[in-house]
Structure 1
Amino acid sequence: MATTIRRTVLTLPAAPLGPENPLPPLAVFPDVHRPGSGGLEDFPAEMARQMRYAPLRSLLPVRRRDDYSRERVPTDLDAIVIENDLLRATVLPSLGGRVHSLEDKASGRSLLYSNPVLQPAGFALNGAWFSGGIEWNIGATGHGPLSVAPLHAARVPAPDGGEMLRLWEWERLRDLPFQVDLWLPDGSAFLYAGVRVRNPHDRPAPVYWWSNTAVREEPGLRVLVPAESAWHFGYERSLRRVPVPSADGADSSYPLAGDRHADHFYDLPDGERRWIAALGEDGRGLVQTSTDLLRGRKLFVWGTSPAGRRQQEWLTEPGTGGYAEIQAGLARTQLEHVPLEAGGEFAWLEAYGPLAADPARTHGADWRAARAEVADRLGAALPRAEVDAAFAAWRPYADHEPKELLAAGSGWGALEAERGGLELPGTPFPAATLGEEQRPWQELLRTGALTERGPVPGPSLVSPRWRELLEAAEPGPYTAYHLGVAQWHAGDRSQAARSWERALREGLTWPALRCLAAADRAGGHPERAADRYAAAVEAARAARASRAALAALAHEAVTALLAAGRPDAAAGVLAGVGAADRARGRFRLLGARVLLARGDASAARAVFDEGFEVDDLREGEASLAEVWWAIAERLVAGDGPVTEAVRARARRLHPLPERYHFGARS
């Protein structure tokens, strides 16, 4: 059959994503991927330089996605199928362009781990993320903020005369447009992905890219890669070089061999072909390869510990199999960002397809022989020169204009294209995609005045160019508010506070109070932060703020009041939260903390005994275990001090239930 691209509908049990969190994320971004507080002198010079370069300090201007649940209902998802005689790929344009499945039609095998449910979890930089398939990560270290966001999608001409599916969007953390062109050449057993990231600005920009592929974690699965060493990184935040495949008494090439979460960033020698494969006991599975610019390769495993197993179950249906991830990136590790010069671009080609190798060799004790077997079979199935030729043929087509739009992304790219007068061949950002969130900013751009009609400020923009426009704009409460957010993002905290105080004087009450409270908390003023949070909650209730805003504000306020040693006031704020939100796991956990702080450890323990789930639990978050142990220690200590002996006895008498095993220290 000729290669086809068609629309379809994929129906999955899915938990609704809910609205974005309307409160701008002002907290300092917790960069859990930095290698501790030590120096970088022991790392290769380029690697150390890129680890220092432009780490993410803030999520702004992106908003958090943390209002989803775990109640799944059958949901129809728009999907696009790319198919030829040998492969069938199903893509979800409304969910970050995720390749949900890739089927080898000749064997009937699914080459990817395709999650049978769509369950958001708090693993992306801005919150909601889901596991499975092939995801495209751009922005900064971690799962990107577009994990559950819609991308633009269209048909475009392919180099072989057929068609490609183009996915594109404007990535807002780094203000960069990108595209992914997916196509199946006629008769090819490999899905090609042509990727391009452009920097249309007059200054260098930091770029982060990793293509993450989930594969089924089956007994005997082995991950092979042309490397003899790797950089190991775990939740202990220690980056160290280890031999491959065996280190610390285990063969790390088998995902089920270790008990702890782990990243292995492989050190591929210069000149070596870039590839990584995940092959089962029978020597069959998936191989990914690319042109040389995509230098990094990685294996991620959850491990077999209770916490790792619990995380796997958390992301899908209980009783279903788990997954490991094989990944490919621009840098050696995910702790790095790569500079892209002004006006420049990064472009490369990836290929994904089935591979069959001799299982006796691929699972043999001789690592070099195992690698050589995979390299030889890959060379026969898809020669390196063929990948390079496909990349060269694709480059002119990357600029071809779309023939037929299949899905629409956000309006932020259209706004940035208008502001910068940008022409971006191949990735048009139509004015028709501009919506209500962009309207005030377009007005600012065209008239010098920012006027918002809603009772609550919409999303802020924080880049230097937008900050300059805000500084020169006609004064007003919303202008002052957004200017404060932009100043905060730039590190000018005193000016940000002045702008929010001006917004407050001009009548923008609870949004400005909340920003001032967050600034006080970040600045080490817990009492003042608590006062302002309490006032913000009262003002928001009087103004009949939205449910999402009230819930997000109350959560921050209760946390701040507890930090200031005011549990009674925290209990009062918590009591005013709507019943449906108060019944959710994040507020149940907060309620247990309030009870403990008020001296009622038994009631706090009863909350855990009754059982709850924190829907938006962050990856690696240990709060469940920390609160549990604090309660247990108080139950054992009574009115006495919590000594080491008390802690040890608490752990013997009150073991953490399995349902709360999540954090690395569980």
Structure 2
Amino acid sequence: MTTIRGDVLTLPGAELGPENPLPPLRPLDEAHHVDARTRADLPRDMARQVGYAPLRGVLPTRLLDGYGRERADLTLDTLILENDRLRVTVLPGLGGRVHSLFHKPTGHELLYRNPVFQPADFALNGAWFSGGIEWNIGATGHTTLSCAPVHAAEVTAPDGGPMLRLWEWERLRDLPFQVDLWLPDGSDFLYVGVRIRNPHEKPAPAYWWSNIAVPEERRVLAPADEAWHFGYERTLRRVPAPESDGVDRSYPLRSTYPADYFYEVPDGERRWIAALDDAGHGLVQTSTDLLRGRKLFLWGAGTGGRRWQSWLTEPGTGGYAEIQAGLARTQLEHVKLDAESEFAWLEAYGPLSADPVRTHGTDWAAARAEVAGRLDAALSRADVDEAYAAWRATADTEPGERLATGSGWGALEVLRTGEKLPGTPFDAATLGPAQEPWAELLRAGSLPVPRRVTPPGASLVGPAWRDMLETAPAEPLTEYHLGVAQWHAGDLAQAVRSWERGLELAPSTWPLLRCLAVADRESGHLERAADRYTEAFDDLCAERRDGEVWTAATAALGREAIEVLLAAGRTAAARTVWHRLRPATRERGRFRLLLACLLLAEGDTDGARAVFDAGFEVADLREGAEVVGETWARITDEPLPARYEFRMRPPEAS
């Protein structure tokens, strides 16, 4: 019999730390985009979707950049879904990630199961971790829910057994979604029903990629003769599969640099992707046809890829590659979801054993045919379609026992709209302190005045909330949030006017001054930005109290201020800000790197070199970022030490 139970997982891990209290106003730093010239050469439908509603920023979410790399035993809540063949371990507090898919008869773990929890700056809003199966929704990149809780409950599966339902409200696109996982009795396959709903009166851009980590000592196979290659040179080009430029890319370790390969699966072909070891054993994923895309991401065997592997996992424990499945052919695309409609599909994950001579032979067509035949014997296309139809009849079933609680943002949207979303209730009981001011705005037409001095809470930026802020009494906090919403909408001049109005009566000026400083920086007024950052940091230091949120605000504002002051050539002012940071903040790797930049600006090359020689780790180093190597190059012509080598593209492309 299939069962669902709660448990805990203890492993070495780094604490996530607090959210960054500063609203993320600057443009999204996302590596996955292409220029207009590249788009012009793409197939028409792909080009249209690549250009459709690209994300400009990550509002209304906040950045998660407060983690480090110091690990201690960390205990995580888990939900275990189990039958006599498979044991599935889910992390409801971390985006509903499937941490483990264990096949009992063979004793094989089918996924790459990360032995540590180490956040890194790969998600759209910062913190992300590798391993397992991740449900990526929102926009190009890793979801903002990577390290966030989701709702979970038990419902009845199509076969009458228990089914685990996960659901949340995705805030970048304002879309609710659900993920239903169940194991039919005696099944070797985990079934996953996914639904994204658009309850609004206008179409919305939708994005989904199921991201599956597998050991990289595998061959990855998919039903395609071509793929779209995307590397960190930010070029998208069609290449033959599996071999391109003289290398068989279906073996992740045969490539040198990290890259994506989006397979061009022909219309009418069954959608699947598999990763098999030398003996022909491994994991296969398949789905109904709506989930059309298939992808391999590999780190490669080069220095940068190896460094990232050890950075994200644990040195000496083996690396991983990612096989993925998505709504579009590539992850650079977004798909239009019509008003008051939904996307729904079924996925299946399970073990596959095939003839290793054929699957690892040089005849790609024969290798693919071998896997396709074995998959059909284990789980036919008709079986998947039948399971999908059965699941659709249960998708609206109201959840039973609640097993985990996500955020209150969905409940706030339901409170605003009165929407009824069968199967995924966003109960008023889940409203929390972050939502309380906005619920008050909804009820009374004004934001409550804070009872104590504290950094402003999270902003809401949707059109309906912006309209409410525009008609609310013009208090400083309201003008602050209104400016953030206007900035998000692209009305930059009006945002500046709102922030300037707020300054006139604000008891706390640093949040507004910081917003104005960002606006100055983005519009090229560097000197004025430097003035405002200096004034904002002075005000924050005079106001700050003890506590995690104040420490986070000081670190975030101090970092931005130093960067702008250095860019403006105000080295002495940057040094003043540095000295006013908390000692523990100055010891963090990001700030050690900032110190090296400060020393270089002061003309102390030897001092900057000493910072590197002493060693530091920038815990929140962004995917694809080259700032460490660039700073080293300003110090010396010597080769970059291996511990700082994170470059993900060839030197000639840097």
TM-score, normalising length from structure 2? 0.98
1:265-315 CA deviation, whole Å, 9 max, x = no partner? 000000000000000000000000000000000000011111000000001
Distance in 2 (CA, whole Å) between partners of 1:311 and 1:213 is: 18
Report the counterpart of residue 27 of structure 1 in structure 2.
26
What is the aligned partner in structure 1 of residue 614 from structure 2?
Answer: 610
Do the aligned residues in 1 keep the contact of 2:120 with 2:619 (CA within 8 Å)? yes
Q: Does 1:621 align with 2:618?
A: no
Residue 31 of structure 1 contacts residue 56 of structure 1 at CA under 8 Å; is this kept in 2? no
Question: Which residue is 2:291 aligned to?
Answer: 294
Q: Does 1:257 align with 2:254?
A: yes
Task: Please say if residues 595 and 604 of structure 1, whose CA atoms lie closer than 8 Å, have aligned partners that are also in contact.
Answer: yes
Q: Secondary structure of 1:399's match?
A: coil
For each residue in 1:438-458, what CA deviation from the matched residue of structure 2 results, as whole angstroms up to 9, or x when unmatched? 001000011101114252210
Identity of aligned residues (%): 67
Q: Which residue of 2 aligns with 1:448?
A: 445
Whole-angstrom CA distance in 1 between matches of 2:249 and 2:150: 36
In structure 2, the CA distance between the partners of 1:452 and 1:211, relative to structure 1 (3 Å rule), is farther
In 2: Cα distance, 1:541 partner to 1:41 partner: 51
C-alpha separation in 2, matches of 1:383 and 1:430: 39
4+ long deviations beyond 3 Å: none
- 3-state SS of 2:297 partner: strand
SS at match of 2:393: helix
User: Counterpart of 1:562?
Assistant: 566
Distance 1:630 1:662 in 2: 17
2:530 maps to a residue whose letter is A
Q: Find the aligned partners of 1:311 and 1:196 in 2 and give their Cα distance.
A: 33
Alignment of 1:68-107 (within 5 A): 68-107=67-106
Read off the aligned partner of 1:141 and give its amino acid letter: T
Q: Does 1:337 align with 2:334?
A: yes
Q: Within the alignment, does 1:664 sit opposite 2:648 as a pair?
A: yes
In structure 2, the partner of 1:122 is 121
Change (3 A) 1:414 1:88: same
State the shift of 1:39 in Å. 4.3
Q: How does 1:36-435 map to 2 (within 5 A)?
A: 36-218=35-217, 221-435=218-432
Which whole-Å CA distance do the structure 2 matches of 1:475 and 1:42 have between them?
50
Is the contact made by 1:25 and 1:58 (CA closer than 8 Å) also made in structure 2? yes
Q: Which residue of 2 aligns with 1:574?
A: 578
Partner Cα distance (2:477, 2:104) in 1: 56
Deviations for 1:386-433, whole angstroms, at most 9, x for unmatched residues? 000000000021100001000000000000011111100000011111
Distance in 2 between the 1:40 and 1:118 partners?
37
2:645 partner letter: H
Flag the 1:452–1:74 CA change in 2: closer, same or farther, 3 A: farther
- For residues 632-654 of structure 1, give each alpha carbon's deviation from its aligned partner in whole angstroms, at most 9, with x where no partner exists: 1xxxxxxxxxxxxxxxxx2xxx1
Residue 655 (structure 1) aligns with: 639
Q: Which moved more, 1:191-200 or 1:311-320?
A: 311-320
Any unmatched runs of 5+ in structure 2? Answer: none
| Counterpart residue number, 1:588 | 592
> Which residue in the other structure is 1:638 paired with?
none
1:172 and 1:452 mapped to 2: Cα distance?
A: 25
CA contact (8 A) 2:38 2:235 kept: no
Measured after TM superposition, the shift of residue 41 of structure 1 is: 2.3
Q: In the alignment, residue 627 of structure 2 is paired with which amino acid?
A: S
Aligned to 1:13: 12
Q: Is the 8 A contact 2:455 2:553 kept in 1?
A: no
Give the whole-Å Cα distance in 1 for the aligned partners of 2:570 and 2:630.
Answer: 20
| Paired residues of 2:274 and 2:285 also in contact (CA < 8 A) | yes
Aligned position for 1:601: 605
Deviation by residue 1:5-45 (Cα, 9 ceiling, x = unmatched): 11011111110000100000000113321123524222111
Contact 1:268 1:295 (C-alpha < 8 Å) held by counterparts: yes
Secondary structure of the equivalent of 1:398?
Answer: coil
In structure 2, distance between residues paired with 1:438 and 1:502? 25
Q: Distance in 2 between matches of 1:36 and 1:137?
A: 24
Whole-angstrom CA distance in 2 between matches of 1:664 and 1:137: 22
Note the C-alpha offset of 1:629.
0.2
Taking only aligned residues, the RMSD between alpha carbons, in angstroms, comes to 0.8
Q: CA deviation at 1:504?
A: 1.2
Q: What is the deviation of 1:194?
A: 0.2
State yes or no: 1:464 paired with 2:468.
no
Is the 2:80–2:87 Cα contact (8 Å) retained in structure 1? yes
Mapped to 2, the partners of 1:445 and 1:44 lie a distance apart of 45
The residue type equivalent to 1:75 in the other structure is L
Residue range with higher mean Cα deviation, 595-604 or 25-34? 25-34
How many angstroms apart in 1 are the aligned matches of 2:211 and 2:539? 44
- Secondary structure of 1:397's partner? coil
CA distance in 2, matches of 1:504, 1:150: 36
CA distance in 1, matches of 2:462, 2:38: 30
Indicate the residue corresponding to 1:644 in structure 2. Answer: none
- Aligned partners of 1:623 and 1:663 also within 8 Å: no
Secondary structure of the equivalent of 1:292? coil
Letter in 2 for 1:427: T
- Measure, in 2, the Cα distance between the counterparts of 1:38 and 1:489: 27
Structure 1: distance between partners of 2:455 and 2:113: 39
Moved more, 281-290 or 495-504: 495-504
CA distance in 2, matches of 1:346, 1:169: 15
1:562-617 deviations in Å (ceiling 9; x for gaps): 11111111111011111101001000000000000111111111100110000111
Q: Conserved in 1, the CA contact under 8 Å of 2:30 and 2:124? A: no
C-alpha separation between the residues in 2 aligned to 1:396 and 1:558?
57
Task: Give distance in 2, aligned partners of 1:659 and 1:403.
Answer: 50
Contact 1:166/1:182 (8 A) holds in 2: yes
User: Counterparts of 1:354 and 1:422 in 2: how far apart (Å)?
Assistant: 40
2:525 counterpart of 1:528: no
Contact 1:348 1:391 in 2 (8 A): yes
* 8 Å Cα contact 1:286/1:355 also seen in 2: yes
How far the C-alpha of 1:663 sits from its partner, in A, is 2.3
Would you say the 8 A contact 2:31–2:624 is kept in 1?
no
Q: TM-score, normalised by structure 1?
A: 0.96
Shift of 1:664: 2.4
Q: Deviations over 1:181-224 (max 9, x none)?
A: 00000111000000000000010000010000000112xx1000
How far apart in 2 are the matches of 1:405 and 1:452? 34
Cα distance in 1 for residues equivalent to 2:435 and 2:551: 23
**Matched residue type, 1:376:** G
Partners in 2 of 1:248 and 1:322 — Cα distance? 24
| 1:100-123 superposed Cα distances (whole Å, 9 cap, x missing partner) | 000110000000000000000001
Between the aligned partners of 2:23 and 2:108, the Cα distance in structure 1 is: 44
**Unaligned 5+ residue runs, structure 1?**
633-649
Residues of 1 paired with 2:648 and 2:9: CA distance?
35
